[in-house]
Amino acid sequence: MLCDDVKRVVYFFIDGSLGEQKRHDVDEHLKLCPRCEVLVRIQRRIRRFVQSRIARMTDTAPDRLRRRLVRSIRAFNTEWSQP
């Protein structure tokens, strides 16, 4: 697995939605590649931050606002994972 491959799947890796084999590949790559390890760590932090925000909003935010937020998070993630 190459750095570009890791960048492409990092979101799903953190999400836990990556297949077992792929996850294993990423794990192996992270052991050898400090740059991707940092990438994963940052993404994880962003995800945790965003999710805590959403969790706090869930009770109060109107659906429309929540959907808009989720969309912008997706766009952010897509942009972030560009090479």
Whether residue 43 contacts residue 37, with contact meaning beta carbons closer than 8 Å, is answered with no
> Which amino acid would we find at residue 76?
F
Give dist(CA 41, CA 38) in Å, integer. Answer: 5
Nearer to Zn ion, 8 or 66 (CB): 8
Residue 3 binds Zn ion (CB under 5 A): yes
Q: Residue 46 is encoded by which pair of tokens? A: 């962003």
Give dist(CA 77, CA 38) in Å, integer. Answer: 16
Residue 57 binds Zn ion (CB under 5 A): no
- Residue from the set 10, 36, 40, 43 that interacts with Zn ion by CB under 5 A: 36
CB of 18 to Zn ion, least distance (A): 16
Residue 8 binds Zn ion (CB under 5 A): no
What does the binding site for Zn ion look like in residue numbers (CB under 5 A)?
3, 33, 36
